[in-house]
């Protein structure tokens, strides 16, 4: 009895994970090997859905959009989060309020954020174009142009996640021994030199962690571009900002091609797993 | 103590934000009194039923009617398809628009045969083609009772027309554009006058649809139900005229149903839009009370046509098919259709409603007292149906309209957009 008790104690998690995690994953894989429609039968087609995907221009377009928006969003986001964290790590007034405050965008409903940002970025009556007009720049067709839409969606993502990452960085920074800074200060190192030479190297595992988390979130990007595109799965007239997750939803739940949609889901899963694997290798190297 | 107060304040702020975020996602339940039967009705947009169901509840004390309306047809259709496939979730009465009707008709086993509920006697109440649209090909099953047809007209802004030096009287405006070419020429005159509006017609997709529904008895599909968008003269002609509107700069580039489009009604971004009669309610809602009397209704270029219109069906999964069929009959009766027309604009398909003097005499106050009963009613009986084929709505909304918009936005060349539209249409039709 004593020997199986530990297993019994951890069993609930694995049971739940099997039912809600592994089973859907495997079932999706099974569906992806079929020509499977919502209505009517389904037929085993082997890997045809996957080979079809490789020559599907809409899929590659969605991949490029997802990757582009991810880079455009994540790089400035993490830099900004680092900077915010280092500011919050100093002796500021109302420090707790500020630390909590930067998390507020993260707890706001993402749909609400999407609706507000879509209005800010609307071409004719949006606040952003109005401000650009005051500065003498012409209106930007945020929804129409590829670069404009990527930028707009990236700001939406950053608005939500910068504060969250800043808090993680802050927690890591507080673990950095004070005496390192004191010693550096005695040696005459400036604040920015201390930041780049002490803080950042010691934060490297944390930075890699946030990169992995951002990668998983970024590659699954869905709600922000959806709300930005007025609730349409198309992601713009030419799919300028249709992400892989949107393409998957469109295929499975609007065209009702469950087989093909499942193949997209599995491909996305494999891409995320591959990127996370690369990240893990980098962590190991960094830790060495 | 001070830190505690500060933390409490922060916690309260966070809580308040979370609460406001979640408060709007919760909807209250049906509101039926104990012992009452709740009949749910699902549709998209505004069918104008809000007052009618109150009347129905008064005359049927045991029934509570709940309306669940989705704003856009494109969001409504997949929901309905999933409810039907899952065998649960759909309302007791559901609206079926002409663009999606044929696809749902292929699974007629999902719907109650309304002939079994005595609807067969109503056949002669409705326009013949509209009635047939609601039956299966063999004529044995009645899937839907006709609600409205989509008689076409043009809605225009009197104030902006006057500002541009164009006539603003509805007769004179109708005279301006017997053909679409003359419509474009009028648009160029309007643009040249620099009224401050962003364009003449709201978006290129509006005239595209109107022209397509006017010109011929098929659109994207041929009569055999095969995709024929590439060779369809109706599609090609609509496309070519649309391209001319873009190159001549007469559109305001306000993508239909977008934020800019909705705001454009209020701000006067454009001076004209096509209005199938169901659009009247949408124009009024978007334009708001401040713009009352500024819109008016004129004839559509190129002669009459039918754009849109729906049916009411009862899914098999309904637990109260008898009561649901009764409600559908009530809502499609002549009296109800006149009331819905006055409330939100859908043009009656019930012949008795079209002959009703109350309907004929009705003037829409918001649209500068335009005699809409007369304008839409006079052509209604002569409307010719367009054969739409199984996936009309999907091809329109997800292949051709985006392609048109991409040219309008300056993101694609016409030839490339045409090729993309055809490729996407094949994808949707598969």
pLDDT digits (tens, 9 = 90+) for B138-194: 999 999 999 999 999 999 999 999 999 999 999 999 999 999 999 999 999 999 999
Examine residue A10 and state whether it is found in any structural domain, yes or no.
Answer: no
**Mutual angle of helices A57-88 and A204-219, in 10-degree steps:** 140
Examine residue A144 and state whether it is found in any structural domain, yes or no.
Answer: yes
Nearest to A230 among B85, B257, B427 (CB): B257
The model's pLDDT over B67-116, given as tens digits with 9 standing for 90+, comes to 999 988 888 998 999 999 889 999 999 999 998 998 899 889 999 999 99
Which of helix, strand or coil describes residue A43? strand
Task: Residue B349: name the closest of B128, B194, B184 by CA.
Answer: B128
Query: Is the pLDDT confidence value at B24 over 70?
Result: no
- The answer to whether A238 contacts B72, with C-beta atoms less than 8 Å apart, is no
Query: Is the pLDDT confidence value at B27 over 60?
Result: no
Shortest distance between the Cα of B128 and any Cα of chain A, in A, equals: 31
- For domain B37-149+308-360, the CATH superfamily is Periplasmic binding protein-like II (3.40.190.10)
Helix, strand and coil in chain B, % to nearest 5: 50, 15, 35
Task: Residue B109: name the closest of B316, B325, B300 by CA.
Answer: B316
Residue B280 burial by CB count (10 A; 0-12/13-18/19+): exposed, middle or buried?
buried
Task: Residue A171: name the closest of A221, A128, A210, A119 by CA.
Answer: A210
Q: What percentage of chain A exceeds 90 in pLDDT?
A: 59
Query: Is the pLDDT confidence value at B15 over 60?
Result: no
Query: Is the pLDDT confidence value at B22 over 90?
Result: no
Task: Residue A122: name the closest of B397, B262, B45 by CA.
Answer: B262
The owner of tokens 């500020």 is A98
- The answer to whether B81 contacts A118, with C-beta atoms less than 8 Å apart, is no
Could you tell me whether strands B295-298 and B154-157 are parallel, antiparallel, or unpaired per DSSP bridges? Answer: antiparallel
Q: What is the CATH number of the domain that holds A283?
A: 1.10.3720.10
Whole-number mean pLDDT of chain A? Answer: 90
- The residue-averaged pLDDT of B221-250 equals 94
Q: Are A211 and A286 in contact (CB under 8 A)?
A: no
Residue B37 sits at φ, ψ, to 5 deg, of -95, 130
Query: Is the pLDDT confidence value at B4 over 50?
Result: no
Task: Give the model's confidence band at A287: pLDDT under 50 very low, under 70 low, under 90 confident, else very high.
Answer: low
Query: Is the pLDDT confidence value at A268 over 60?
Result: yes
The fold for domain B154-307+378-429 equals D-Maltodextrin-Binding Protein; domain 2 (3.40.190)
**Separation between Cα atoms, residue B207 and residue B251, nearest integer Å:** 10
- The answer to whether B412 contacts A238, with C-beta atoms less than 8 Å apart, is yes
Token pair, residue B171, equals 């007769």
Q: Which residues of chain A does B267 touch, with a Cβ-Cβ cutoff of 8 Å?
A: 124-125
**Separation between Cα atoms, residue A275 and residue A212, nearest integer Å:** 8
The model's pLDDT over A190-237, given as tens digits with 9 standing for 90+, comes to 888 888 888 888 998 898 889 888 988 999 999 999 999 988 899 999
- The residue-averaged pLDDT of B216-230 equals 90
CATH 3.40.190.10 location in chain B: 37-149+308-360, 154-307+378-429
Q: How many domains does chain A have?
A: 1
- The answer to whether A238 contacts B406, with C-beta atoms less than 8 Å apart, is yes
**Separation between Cα atoms, residue B408 and residue A237, nearest integer Å:** 10
Query: Is the pLDDT confidence value at B244 over 70?
Result: yes
The pLDDT of residue B1 is: 39
Q: What percentage of chain B exceeds 70 in pLDDT?
A: 93
Examine residue A147 and state whether it is found in any structural domain, yes or no.
Answer: yes
Neighbours of B108 (CB within 10 A): 18
Q: Which domain holds residue A163?
A: 57-287
**Separation between Cα atoms, residue A187 and residue A288, nearest integer Å:** 28
- Name the A residues in 169-198 with CB < 8 Å from any B CB: none
The pLDDT of residue B384 is: 83
**Separation between Cα atoms, residue A131 and residue A137, nearest integer Å:** 9
Query: Is the pLDDT confidence value at A286 over 80?
Result: no
- The answer to whether A238 contacts B260, with C-beta atoms less than 8 Å apart, is no
The pLDDT of residue B197 is: 94
- Residues counted in chain A: 288
Examine residue A36 and state whether it is found in any structural domain, yes or no.
Answer: no
Query: Is the pLDDT confidence value at B20 over 50?
Result: no
- Report H helices in B253-310: 259-267, 279-287
**Separation between Cα atoms, residue B333 and residue B340, nearest integer Å:** 10
The model's pLDDT over B374-422, given as tens digits with 9 standing for 90+, comes to 999 988 888 888 888 889 999 999 999 999 999 999 999 999 999 999 9
ipTM of the prediction: 0.85
Give the contacts of B331 (CB within 8 A, at least 6 positions apart): B47, B49, B52, B56, B93, B147, B312, B340
Q: Are B156 and B146 in contact (CB under 8 A)?
A: no
Examine residue A268 and state whether it is found in any structural domain, yes or no.
Answer: yes
Whole-number mean pLDDT of chain B? Answer: 90
Widest distance between CA atoms in chain B: 81
The pLDDT of residue A39 is: 67
């Amino acid at each position: 009895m004593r020997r199986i008790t530990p297993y019994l104690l951890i069993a609930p998690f694995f049971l739940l994970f099997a039912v809600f995690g592994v089973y859907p994953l495997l079932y999706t894989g099974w569906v992806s090997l079929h020509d499977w429609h919502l209505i009517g039968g389904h037929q085993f087609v082997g890997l045809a859905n996957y080979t079809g995907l490789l020559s599907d221009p809409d899929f590659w377009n969605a991949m490029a959009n997802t990757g582009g928006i991810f880079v455009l969003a994540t790089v400035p986001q993490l830099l900004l989060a680092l900077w915010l964290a280092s500011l919050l790590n100093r002796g500021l007034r109302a420090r707790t309020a500020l630390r909590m405050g930067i998390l507020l965008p993260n707890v706001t409903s993402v749909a609400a954020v999407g609706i507000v940002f879509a209005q800010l970025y609307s071409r004719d009556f949006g606040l952003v174009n109005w401000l650009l007009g005051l500065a003498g720049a012409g209106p930007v067709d945020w929804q129409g142009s590829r670069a404009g839409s990527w930028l707009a969606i990236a700001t939406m993502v950053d608005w939500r996640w910068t504060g969250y990452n800043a808090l993680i960085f802050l927690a890591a920074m507080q673990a950095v021994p004070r005496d390192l800074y004191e010693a550096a200060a005695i040696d005459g190192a400036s604040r920015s030199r201390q930041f780049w030479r002490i803080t950042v190297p010691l934060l490297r595992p944390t930075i890699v962690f946030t990169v992995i988390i951002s990668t998983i979130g970024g590659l699954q990007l869905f709600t922000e571009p959806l709300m930005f595109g007025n609730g349409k799965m198309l992601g713009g007239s030419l799919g300028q900002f249709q992400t892989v997750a949107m393409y998957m939803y469109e295929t499975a739940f609007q065209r009702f091609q469950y087989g093909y949609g499942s193949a997209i889901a599995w491909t996305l899963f494999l891409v995320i797993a591959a990127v996370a694997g690369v990240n893990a290798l980098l962590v190991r190297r960094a830790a060495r | 103590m001070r830190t505690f107060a500060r933390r409490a304040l922060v916690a309260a702020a966070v809580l308040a934000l979370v609460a406001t975020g979640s408060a709007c996602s919760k909807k209250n339940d049906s509101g039926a009194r104990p012992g009452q039967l709740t009949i749910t009705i699902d549709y998209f947009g505004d069918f104008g039923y809000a007052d009618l169901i109150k009347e129905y509840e008064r005359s049927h004390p045991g029934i509570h009617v709940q309306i669940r309306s989705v704003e856009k047809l494109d969001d409504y259709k997949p929901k309905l398809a999933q409810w039907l496939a899952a065998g649960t979730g759909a309302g007791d009465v559901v609206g079926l628009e002409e663009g999606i009707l044929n696809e749902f008709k292929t699974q007629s086993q999902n719907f109650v045969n309304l002939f079994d509920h005595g609807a067969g006697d109503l056949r002669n109440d409705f326009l013949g083609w509209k009635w047939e649209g609601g039956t299966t090909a063999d004529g044995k099953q009645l899937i839907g009772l006709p609600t409205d047809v989509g008689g076409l007209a043009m809605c225009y802004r009197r104030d902006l027309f006057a500002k541009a030096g164009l006539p603003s009287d509805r007769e004179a405006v109708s005279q301006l554009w017997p053909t679409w070419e003359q419509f474009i020429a009028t648009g160029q005159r309007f643009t040249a006058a620099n009224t401050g509006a962003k364009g003449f017609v709201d978006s290129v997709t509006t005239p595209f649809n109107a022209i397509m529904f006017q010109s011929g008895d098929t659109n994207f599909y041929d009569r055999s139900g095969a995709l024929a968008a590439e060779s369809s003269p109706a599609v090609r002609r609509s496309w070519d005229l649309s391209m001319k509107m873009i190159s001549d700069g007469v559109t305001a580039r306000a993508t239909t149903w977008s934020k800019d489009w909705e705001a454009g009604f209020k701000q006067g971004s454009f001076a004209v839009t096509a209005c199938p009669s169901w659009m009247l309610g949408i124009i009024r809602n978007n334009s708001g009370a401040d713009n009352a009397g500024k819109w008016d209704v004129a004839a559509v270029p190129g002669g009459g046509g039918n754009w849109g219109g729906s049916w009411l069906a009862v899914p098999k999964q309904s637990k109260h098919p008898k009561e649901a069929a009764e409600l559908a009959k009530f809502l499609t009766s002549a009296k109800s259709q006149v009331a819905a027309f006055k409330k939100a604009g859908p043009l009656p398909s019930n012949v008795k409603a079209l002959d009703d003097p109350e309907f004929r005499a009705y003037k829409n106050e918001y649209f500068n007292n335009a005699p809409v009963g007369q304008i839409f009613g006079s052509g209604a009986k002569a409307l010719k149906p367009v054969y739409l084929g199984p996936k009309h709505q999907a091809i329109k909304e997800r292949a051709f309209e985006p392609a048109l918009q991409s040219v309008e936005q300056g993101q694609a060349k016409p030839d490339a957009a045409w090729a993309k539209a055809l490729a996407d249409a094949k994808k949707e039709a598969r």
